[in-house]
Amino acid sequence: MDPQPDRTIPVVTGTGTGSTELSAFDAALRDAGVANFNLVRLSSVVPPRTSVDTEGTHPVPAGAWGDRLYCVYAEQRASVPGEQAWAGIGWVQRVDGEGGLFVEHEGDSEEIVAKLIDLSLADLVAGRPESFGPVQQVRTGVTCTEEPVCALVVAAYETAGWEFAR
């Protein structure tokens, strides 16, 4: 049997503004290119032989309106003028290429989100016997000026359609 092919998980960001926090979240989903999917949140494990792309060389997986998008995501909303919303995803890859770990955090400052990602990944790595490479992160943020805002980071694994029994 052939080994599984190399796979890539794109990490995309978005920010949005709306009349409500929910519509700001939708605007951030649109900005990130994932608005027409149903997000299915995954936990923290990156499959073997999978790379992470933050440069935009791998697009979000294709899919139809309403398909499931399996992903890890962080989202933070703010609705008081002057408040900041920050979201971030961090990860480490095993040095042998056999997988990795994601974490996601939200907060009201970039520094808080970065620190939480570092702390979480340090704990996750310390609890495992495998060797991991350096911590990597993607963060995005937005400041509320008048209307509610949302910051979003999504690691998009794959999409799947729906098979309804009739």
Which residues sit opposite 45 in a β-bridge? 101
The span from the CA of 150 to the CA of 148, in Å, is: 7
Annotated catalytic residue: which of 19, 36, 55, 104? 104
Residue of 19, 21, 36, 44 with catalytic role:
44
Among residues 38, 98, 111, 130, the one annotated as catalytic is 38
What are the residues facing 107 on neighbouring strands? 86
Please tell me which residue in 43, 55, 146, 163 is annotated as part of the active site. 43
Q: Is 90 exposed, middle or buried (0-12, 13-18, 19+ CB in 10 A)?
A: buried
Neighbours of 50 (CB within 10 A): 18
- Annotated catalytic, 51? no
Q: Specify whether 44 is catalytic.
A: yes
Residues assigned a catalytic role: 38, 43-44, 104
